[in-house]
């Protein structure tokens, strides 16, 4: 049985290595621990880790930080588009 206190990894963003590093920096500034998934293979051979090689690097946080992390990610996306 799961309890609400179990920590699980959750993907909050995917993109190129440069985009993920920028968002990772923003999350760390907000005191949210995170890590990159497929950092090397997604850069060297992105078609192996994702279909068509698009958005192959993934940014992962704890499920306990998910809501706060999504606020940071959405703000990043708004600023990039605008």
- Going from N- to C-terminal start, the domains of the chain cover 9-81
| Contact partners, residue 59, CB within 8 Å, separation at least 6 | 11, 12, 13, 14, 20, 23, 24, 27, 34, 35, 36, 37
The domain defined by 9-81 carries CATH number 3.30.70.1530: yes
In the chain, the largest separation of any two C-alpha atoms, in whole Å, equals 44
Prediction pTM value: 0.81
Q: For residue 1, is pLDDT > 60?
A: no
Q: How confident is the model at residue 81 (pLDDT cuts 50, 70, 90)?
A: confident
């Amino acid at each position: 049985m799961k309890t609400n206190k179990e920590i699980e990894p959750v993907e909050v963003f995917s993109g190129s290595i440069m985009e993920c590093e920028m968002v990772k920096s923003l999350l760390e500034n907000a005191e949210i621990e995170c890590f990159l998934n497929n950092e090397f293979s997604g850069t060297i051979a992105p078609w192996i880790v994702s279909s068509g090689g698009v958005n192959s690097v993934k940014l992962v946080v704890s499920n306990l930080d998910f809501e706060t992390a999504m606020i940071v990610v959405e703000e990043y996306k708004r600023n990039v588009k605008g």
